[in-house]
Chains A and B, each alone.
Chain A
């Protein structure tokens, strides 16, 4: 991770003092609720259904064990002993008190953390591919570029009151593990003709009410121009993004209304005025930031030939990812054990994980946008010992990439926006698919659940997506198939199914019917797939939704036969 220097530290310390004063004035009645709202949101503080919610930034998802211990401490001292890792690689606390939040921020600042711009209509926490720095298909280490962007976006004076929130993702590898086509800006590292690093710039993607796949507006942006180009995009958006309707205020709507070509012209014209200006990045600055990242002290090892069977083998297959350094591996800790809300971790688990990070992975870990944790630098010879310890902690469920690795938002159990619960639906599906052999046979499948159209649970890009909807006051669920977060596979045999928004299969279902529907969808896939290499999503793209629809609505046991949407 990046280590703060004195200036970085003073900036977060001054932020704590600023927010403490703002909170004091708010509680004293000197700032109205309306005027305070944007101030507290830009410090991560929401007023929620049952209590405030505080979202703490984990910049691009990397954490030290010391920082994780602080997150555990905060869960214990200010909350109810747990936290929720979100799809934005942040952590959320659901029970803090407004008057205590300045103290929480002060505790965070003591370990180089903050809640800056984790909400509000500003540039949010920048997300990255969680295998940055260790993946074999790496092009650049995305963390360095994320940190440069973090500093650029932190308290950017021009872009604190944008039309709407603004999310940037950076992907440094060949495979897209950061969903770059589903962000306001996606930056995908590429090498130029002479081998120099740069970025493909994707704009206007996003989920929410109006899901859109982003547009490539520049195939190659040399790295020196990263900040000035992003600044040009933000300026066009800040000036021309719609402010009359909150549902039309994201940049994706501006890009759609202008048309991607016209939008590109405007950005390029603005950039012409900014390029080669003072914000042009220098080699010295990139080196300085690189130098402030703690690099693991790898030893010279050789790759081991490991082919275990049984439960350890299943875990090796699903939860262990190859490392670019011989003799090392990256390990995903599953926060998706059946019966535990996806992404939740208790203070005791956080403490235990911090200790494992110290003993197995140079004291560092990462949070993934699929709401799991990663120990990125584990020696292969120690994998079995680590597996045993993770098993004892309930963190070794061998389901990474599989159907039960469900992404879910906190849903109606916590969130005031939700139409429906998401956690019990996730649990019911996990219970139905608890047979590991069956699960592994189904293979890679992203199943994502959102409690409302804001789509914090990324249902639009679930290979199977589940969306909570309100039908005359009752909780119902709409099912989509064929959504995809991007080209996550690389190599010769890769299935290059592009990023896609899922298609609705028909009328929605009651909560208890959802697992049955998932089972019917899987049935079609297992029956029709070309081979085991063809994933559910590839199959759904090849076949279209009709056969899936037939097997759900036309099925003899279908709870929705009465209103069958089956095409004749």
Chain B
């Protein structure tokens, strides 16, 4: 069963989620949907294979350039070992691929206590905080 992690917790199955969902594929250009971001309930970025890293750039652009504040959900081939980077790029919800141990996956957010670069999670790079 695929499990949803939202804001660092396993989300409880609830009533059907309401609102418009905008779904982006790796080749989609976030600039083209920038005008619609205020009106959607959430944005989903699909990872057909976890090794296709385009979704990371899409997430940063949505957050940092187009000011998207709502839920940003990684879907598709989403596994425990990518959660840390995904969350740093601005994803706050993760629909885990089937077969992933959700409890174990939660630990991934704490794999590292610090990071060098600027990111959505911490807009100031380490060298400005050191």
CB pair A278–B124 under 8 Å, yes or no, is yes
B residues less than 8 Å from A35 (CB atoms): 50, 79, 81
CB pair A161–B53 under 8 Å, yes or no, is yes
Considering the complex, give the chain B residue whose CB is closest to the CB of A151.
B116
Give Cα A155–Cα B117 distance, bound, in whole angstroms: 8
Interface string of A203-240 (1 = CB under 8 A from B): 00000000000000000000000000000000100110
Interface size of A as a range: 35 or more
CB pair B126–A238 under 8 Å, yes or no, is no
A residues less than 8 Å from B79 (CB atoms): 35
Interface string of A512-540 (1 = CB under 8 A from B): 00000000000000000000000000000
> With contacts A14-B113, A152-B117 known, is A278 near B56, CB below 8 A?
no
A residues less than 8 Å from B115 (CB atoms): 11, 155, 157
Considering the complex, give the chain A residue whose CB is closest to the CB of B54.
A239
A residues less than 8 Å from B57 (CB atoms): 158, 235, 238-239
Give Cα A162–Cα B128 distance, bound, in whole angstroms: 27
Within 8 A of A (CB), among B106-129: 111-119, 123-128
A residues less than 8 Å from B128 (CB atoms): 278, 282, 285
Give the secondary structure class of B's interface: loop
Residue in A11, A235, A238, A288 whose CB lies within 8 Å of B114: A11
CB pair B117–A279 under 8 Å, yes or no, is yes
A residues less than 8 Å from B7 (CB atoms): none
Give Cα A421–Cα B116 distance, bound, in whole angstroms: 41
Residue in B56, B112, B113, B118 whose CB lies within 8 Å of A277: B118
CB distance from B73 to the nearest CB of A (A): 17
Q: Does A388 sit within 8 A of B, measured CB to CB?
A: no
Q: Does A112 sit within 8 A of B, measured CB to CB?
A: no
B residues less than 8 Å from A156 (CB atoms): 116-117
Give Cα A15–Cα B113 distance, bound, in whole angstroms: 11
Q: Does B25 sit within 8 A of A, measured CB to CB?
A: no
Interface centre among A22, A160, A282, A288 (most CB of B within 10 A): A160
CB pair A160–B85 under 8 Å, yes or no, is yes
A residues less than 8 Å from B85 (CB atoms): 155, 157-158, 160
Interface centre among A121, A161, A285 (most CB of B within 10 A): A161
Q: Does A382 sit within 8 A of B, measured CB to CB?
A: no
B residues less than 8 Å from A273 (CB atoms): 65
> With contacts A7-B126, A235-B57 known, is A157 near B89, CB below 8 A?
yes
Give Cα A158–Cα B124 distance, bound, in whole angstroms: 15
Interface string of A270-282 (1 = CB under 8 A from B): 0001000111011
A residues less than 8 Å from B84 (CB atoms): 157
> With contacts A7-B130, A121-B51, A282-B128 known, is A158 near B112, CB below 8 A?
no
> With contacts A154-B116, A156-B117, A157-B56 known, is A288 near B130, CB below 8 A?
yes
Q: Does B98 sit within 8 A of A, measured CB to CB?
A: no
Interface string of A283-325 (1 = CB under 8 A from B): 0010010000000000000000000000000000000000000
Q: Does B60 sit within 8 A of A, measured CB to CB?
A: yes
CB pair B56–A158 under 8 Å, yes or no, is yes
Within 8 A of A (CB), among B1-32: none
Q: Does B42 sit within 8 A of A, measured CB to CB?
A: no
CB pair A278–B81 under 8 Å, yes or no, is no
> With contacts A18-B111, A157-B89, A278-B124 known, is A238 near B56, CB below 8 A?
yes
Give Cα A7–Cα B127 distance, bound, in whole angstroms: 11
The 3 closest A-B CB pairs, nearest first, are: A161-B53, A157-B88, A157-B85
Q: Does B52 sit within 8 A of A, measured CB to CB?
A: yes
Give Cα A152–Cα B117 distance, bound, in whole angstroms: 6
